[in-house]
């Protein structure tokens, strides 16, 4: 499989090179140094898009320049009401985006940025494109590239398997909303390592989204390690109450510093799917978190099920070797219909202004071992 060079510095020329490589049975599309203005690009099976240092794909700054991604299986799936994408792949296998270059979404240009310093931009009325959306793809590699200022979610990986993410850098203006870093949705066998995420919204998201009321969705065997996170919202968000099964996920060697919660497993009534009249559905278990450094103005770990949300199961989680500085304690809040079960915390050092290290209600089998609390500089 050979190299294919776009004939011009445009997204249209990149697409032509991808199509040529695909028709040849596969190959490597290699960009030359320079800026490539672009609307939607479709990556296809057995094609690697290589963006070397000095090369940049720059998304157009108006939504009408992007395609609305269409697929019969995505009829109920359109986050933030948008189907627009800069880099898309559907039902593809053996695809890759590599190199030390950049994809720039020009996100702030989609907003009214005339707001006071330090406040978020108002959500615009027009649809904003996501930067990368891969649906039903197999053997995916994302390596070394910088992804800058996505107008919407930076990565939307849905129903993908065998995904390898390594040494990427995701940065977004933190005044933008809904500019998630990496959304891992109903995927299997995903590894993420040695990467940096700075976003206004959640950095890392793991969910199992049902496409239809009777659909079965599973997100499993996700491993995330050696990452640095900075968010105004959450460092790691896991699940929503209308999700299905999330299991066997491991997070290790993570540093989080930001305004938002460190780890947030949030199940409020407002997140229930109104079109399906859900009271709750999610089955969440077998999660391991180890070797974390968290500094936040909010909760370092928050597991929450609001009254009125009845989940199948939420529990069997281990948190070990955490070094925390936060304004709030660890929060474990179930409800009479949803008990949080089998939670273990060990080797936790927490510095907080309050007098509690862990606040819990409706929790069964909570194991606390070697918890050190430093309140206003005094060990408790």
Rounded Cα gap, residues 263 and 183, in angstroms: 15
254 pLDDT more than 90: yes
Q: What is the pLDDT of residue 380?
A: 46
Rounded Cα gap, residues 341 and 330, in angstroms: 15
Rounded Cα gap, residues 244 and 237, in angstroms: 15
What mean pLDDT comes out for the span 280-287? 93
**Tokens 């930001």 belong to which residue?**
258
Q: Which residues is 287 bridged to in the sheet? A: 249, 317
Q: Are 98 and 143 in contact (CB under 8 A)?
A: yes
306 pLDDT more than 80: yes
Q: What is the pLDDT of residue 78?
A: 74
Q: Are 251 and 289 in contact (CB under 8 A)?
A: yes
**DSSP H/E element including 12:** helix 11-23
Q: What is the pLDDT of residue 365?
A: 97
Q: What is the pLDDT of residue 281?
A: 85
Q: What is the pLDDT of residue 211?
A: 79
Rounded Cα gap, residues 380 and 376, in angstroms: 10
Residues 6+ apart with CB under 8 A from 30: 3, 4, 5, 50, 52
Q: What is the pLDDT of residue 73?
A: 79
What mean pLDDT comes out for the span 352-364? 94
**Tokens 């990149």 belong to which residue?**
14
What mean pLDDT comes out for the span 119-146? 95
Q: What is the pLDDT of residue 213?
A: 76
| pTM of the model as a whole | 0.96
107 pLDDT more than 90: yes
Q: What is the pLDDT of residue 122?
A: 87
What mean pLDDT comes out for the span 190-199? 98
User: Among candidates 231, 137, 250, 260, which has minimal Cα distance to 192?
Assistant: 250
Rounded Cα gap, residues 219 and 205, in angstroms: 11
182 pLDDT more than 70: yes
Q: What percent of the chain has pLDDT over 90?
A: 87
pLDDT-based confidence at 319, cuts 50/70/90? very high
Q: Collapse the DSSP code of 275 into the 3-class scheme (helix H, G, I; strand E, B; otherwise coil) and give the result.
A: helix
Q: What is the pLDDT of residue 75?
A: 66
pLDDT in tens, 2-52: 999 999 999 999 999 999 999 999 999 999 999 999 999 999 999 999 999
Q: Which residues is 237 bridged to in the sheet? A: 205, 264
What's the mean pLDDT when you consider all of the chain?
94
**DSSP H/E element including 231:** strand 218-231
């Amino acid at each position: 499989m050979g190299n294919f060079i776009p004939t011009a510095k445009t997204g249209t020329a990149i697409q032509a090179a991808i199509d040529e490589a695909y028709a040849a049975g596969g190959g490597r599309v290699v960009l030359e140094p320079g800026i490539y203005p672009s609307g939607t690009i479709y990556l296809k099976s057995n094609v690697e898009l290589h963006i070397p240092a000095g090369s940049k794909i720059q998304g157009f700054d108006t939504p009408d320049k992007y395609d609305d991604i269409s697929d019969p299986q995505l009829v109920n799936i359109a986050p933030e009401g948008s189907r627009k994408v800069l880099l898309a792949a559907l039902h593809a296998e053996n695809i890759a985006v590599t190199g030390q270059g950049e994809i720039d979404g020009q996100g702030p240009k989609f907003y009214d940025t005339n707001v006071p310093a330090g406040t978020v931009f108002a959500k615009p009325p027009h649809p904003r494109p996501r930067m990368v959306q891969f649906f039903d793809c197999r053997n995916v590699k994302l390596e070394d590239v910088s992804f800058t200022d996505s107008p919407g979610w930076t990565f939307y990986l849905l129903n993908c398997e065998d995904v390898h993410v390594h040494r990427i850098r995701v940065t977004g203006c933190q005044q933008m909303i809904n500019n998630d870093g990496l959304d891992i949705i109903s995927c299997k066998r995903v590894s993420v390592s040695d990467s940096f995420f700075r976003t206004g919204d959640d950095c890392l998201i793991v969910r199992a989204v049902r496409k239809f009321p009777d659909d079965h969705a599973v997100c499993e065997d996700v491993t995330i390690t050696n990452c640095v996170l900075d968010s105004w919202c959450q460092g790691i968000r896991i699940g929503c109450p209308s999700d299905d099964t999330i299991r066997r996920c491991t997070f290790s060697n993570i540093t989080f510093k930001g305004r938002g919660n460190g780890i947030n497993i949030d199940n409020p009534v407002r997140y229930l799917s109104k079109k399906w009249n859900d009271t709750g559905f999610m089955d969440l278990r077998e999660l391991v978190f180890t070797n974390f450094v968290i500094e936040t103005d909010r909760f370092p770990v928050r597991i929450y099920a609001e009254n009125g949300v009845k989940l199948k199961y939420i529990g069997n989680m281990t948190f070990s070797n955490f070094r925390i500085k936060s304004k709030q304690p660890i929060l474990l809040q179930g409800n009479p219909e949803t008990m949080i079960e089998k939670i273990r915390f060990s080797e936790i050092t927490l510095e907080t202004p309050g007098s509690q290290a862990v606040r819990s209600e409706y929790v069964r089998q909570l194991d606390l071992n070697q918890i050190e609390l430093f309140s206003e500089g005094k060990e408790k």
